[in-house]
Structure 1
Amino acid sequence: MPELPEVESARRNLERWFQGHRVVRAEADATRIFRGAQRKKFSELTGRVESLDRRGKYLLLTFEGGRGLLAHLGMTGKFLRRPEGQSVPHSHARFHLDDGHVIHFSDYRLFGRMEPAPAARLHQLEAIQALGRDPVADGLTAQQLQEVMGRSRMDLKVALMDQGRVAGLGNIYVAEALFRSGLHPARKPASLSPEEWARLTRAIHDTLSSALEQEQGEDPVYLEENKSENPFLVYGRAGGPCTTCKTKVQSIVQGGRTTHFCPKCQPKRISKRGKR
């Protein structure tokens, strides 16, 4: 599933594609990506794009004339730019530009979401108001992370995936951050020491920065597609050797999602001082 780095990469691509151009026609198919929204309003999204923001895993586009669009990539959604007349598989919504290109929203599993709304209301929509801190847009300190996690009884990994606490992190990048910080995914937030909170916060920022550096190019390829190469340190490597110590990577199920971790680099047992 696209997480913060993939959505931020999509935002940067869209910003570049729309810059200096106008949308001359917008069209969308009658699919479930408009569930709960007025699909017919999508055709009104023409003219220049005045701003393009990201909050967590959501994109917020404002068009001239006070029109706006909330977009979520879901599990397989992506924006692609192609010359007019070139077909794109699973294209469900399209922006036709004045330079002869079309920006397609392609989503073969249809878990993505489009919601046209007045530009002035985008940041007040329930989905956006429910989000917690965005590590990139808002910044995130160790103290802030500890405060938003509170004394949750959830496993550390499950709590970090809660979008109401930290916006944009998902299964992949939480696993990567926990690996980088040497923290077991089943630890409880209340068990972390101040040094561990600092280490985890640094790991979150390092993980996102590394991913954003890799997320270059206009045609995103997700890990599950076409057997693409796995660029991650621990995610998706269950059964194989740890990239650091060569110990066999293990997996467990947490919150309905598969978690990958190294039992040696991320020991669950801690000392009384909270050190590994």
Structure 2
Amino acid sequence: MELCRRRRRSRCSIISAPGRPGWCGWAISATRTHTPICSSRTAQRSLSLSRWRRGWPSVTRTPPVVRAPRVRRRSMPELAEVEVARRNVAGWWEGEAAAEVRLLDAKVLKKGSARELEEAMLRPLVAMRRRGKYLWAELEGGHAVMFHFRMTGKITCETTPQPRFARLAWRVDKTGWLTFKDSRRLGHVEVLAPGELERYDALLRMGKEPHDITVDELREAASDRRQLKSALLDQGVVAGVGNIAISELFWRLQLPPEVRCGELSQAQWEALVEEMPRYFDEIIARSMADEIAYMNEAGGENIFEVYGRKGEACPRCEEAIERVKVAGRSTYFCPACQPPVNA
């Protein structure tokens, strides 16, 4: 190996002899023409360089390809999952005060102190409330505790206060230990003092629930130029609708994934407003269990018609389900049942 003796500032290159290892343990696996930057090396040299790693039996052997581990996609909790959690927790806790509260992971508490959390949860639960994807406990005296599930959060009923992934636990005499679990630590809890819930910004900006919104209200909130999927994902337009629900609703109504609001007929708007509550009622009924099971996690199963079923046969026409990104999110659809508007 030859190395220019000039100062490093001259930006001279290291020059390797053919078949020799390159610097940092690697050389380029191709033949290339090398033009040294240093003026003292003006002749071009054709260098045949091969990959090399210390300890390999041959300098010409290609190293194995190291692939990044496959990331398993997890679905975000949508209206149906949060409503299942609301009904479960209401049955376990309503009318009772927590007898003991344990904050097992301080990171989960986004607003309020551990003492404020304990003082709030030691009050009797008036009701569990939900708006869109937001869930909170309404406690005596106007206090509230807001739960954000994010990707993998859930509330379960346990016999021990410290099951795996538990971040917060509280004991209810009639039930046992209720735990806020989150394997990825993305969810959080907020303690709201009396009067703060009424000023909670996300709730104030939220649109109507799918069960309450009318055709005129939905059309007015969604701009004609906007893609329908983008409009439905906007919680200010309609609350609680998520990516999974949109794939399923579009398939049921045979709407193309990239359809714009202005391309829908009056009959299609009416069908959408009618189908949304029916869809959520069906998914809630099918999802009722003591614990939310997200897709792609242990115990989770795909209960949907097209979501997450790329390459599988369409339940309606047996054409292969495809996936496309719309509004930055994966949308699953049947190309035969949901052709483009101008097709």
TM-score of the superposition, structure 2-length normalised? 0.73
Alignment root-mean-square deviation, CA: 1.8
Q: CA deviation at 1:24?
A: 1.2
> Aligned in 2, Cα 1:171/1:111: closer, same or farther, shift over 3 Å?
same
1:52 aligns with 2:124: no
RCO (CA 8 Å, sep 6+): is it higher in 1 or 2?
1
Matches within 5 A, 1:189-208: 189-208=261-280
Equivalent residue for 2:139?
63
Structure 1 runs (4+) deviating above 6 angstroms are: none
Where structure 2 has 5 or more consecutive residues not aligned to the other structure, the ranges are: 1-75
Distance 1:168 1:59 in 2: 11
| Aligned residue type for 1:213 | A
Say which of 144, 148, 154 aligns to 2:221: 148
Distance 2:299 2:287 in 1: 17
Matches within 5 A, 1:146-225: 146-151=219-224, 153-225=225-297
| Aligned residue type for 1:223 | M
Matches within 5 A, 1:241-260: 241-260=313-332
Distance 2:201 2:213 in 1: 23
| Aligned residue type for 1:55 | R
- Name the larger-Rg structure: 2
Distance 1:60 1:88 in 2: 22
Equivalent residue for 1:87?
162
Q: CA deviation at 1:229?
A: 2.8
Q: CA deviation at 1:234?
A: 0.9
Q: CA deviation at 1:62?
A: 1.4
Secondary structure of 1:239's counterpart equals coil
Distance 2:194 2:311 in 1: 48
Where structure 1 has 5 or more consecutive residues not aligned to the other structure, the ranges are: 272-276
Distance 1:252 1:11 in 2: 33
Secondary structure of 2:219's counterpart equals helix
Distance 1:61 1:86 in 2: 19
Q: CA deviation at 1:11?
A: 0.4
| Aligned residue type for 1:71 | F
Does structure 2 retain, via aligned residues, the 8 Å contact 1:155–1:187?
yes
| Aligned residue type for 1:12 | R
Distance 2:328 2:190 in 1: 27
Q: CA deviation at 1:231?
A: 1.0
Q: CA deviation at 1:165?
A: 0.9
Distance 2:127 2:174 in 1: 19
Q: CA deviation at 1:149?
A: 1.3
Does structure 2 retain, via aligned residues, the 8 Å contact 1:142–1:198?
yes
Distance 2:262 2:175 in 1: 55
| Aligned residue type for 1:156 | L
Distance 1:100 1:12 in 2: 14
